[in-house]
Amino acid sequence: MNPNRRIREATIEAYATIGGNESAMALATVLNDQDASLRAEAVAALGEIGGKTAVHILQYALADEEDAIRKAATEYLAESSNQ
């Protein structure tokens, strides 16, 4: 595995653990990454973080080119609206 990729994955995981608006904002940049699996991890992390900022950012993922990412964002947004 590419060491740079592993660092990026660990960073996404750390932001999910830390949580909060600043982590959500940092994860927003990952939604523009060329690597769809990293974008998917960022969507999952945003879903874990929750809150208004994460919900706002997840709305951008609804326009992703990958079906799986759009579906995951839709599920996290639906879950957040039920809370």
Spatial contact of 26 and 12, defined as CB atoms under 8 Å apart: no
- At 2, the pLDDT band (50, 70, 90 cuts) reads confident
DSSP the chain: --HHHHHHHHHHHHHHHH-HHHHHHHHHGGGG-S-HHHHHHHHHHHHHH-HHHHHHHHHHHTT-SSHHHHHHHHHHHHHHHT-
pTM of the model: 0.93
Average pLDDT along the chain: 95
Sign of CA pseudo-dihedral 34, 35, 39, 40: positive
Q: Which domains does the chain have, with CATH numbers?
A: 3-81 (1.25.10.10)
Tens-place pLDDT, residues 7-23: 999 999 999 999 999 99
Contact 39, 33 (CB under 8 A): yes
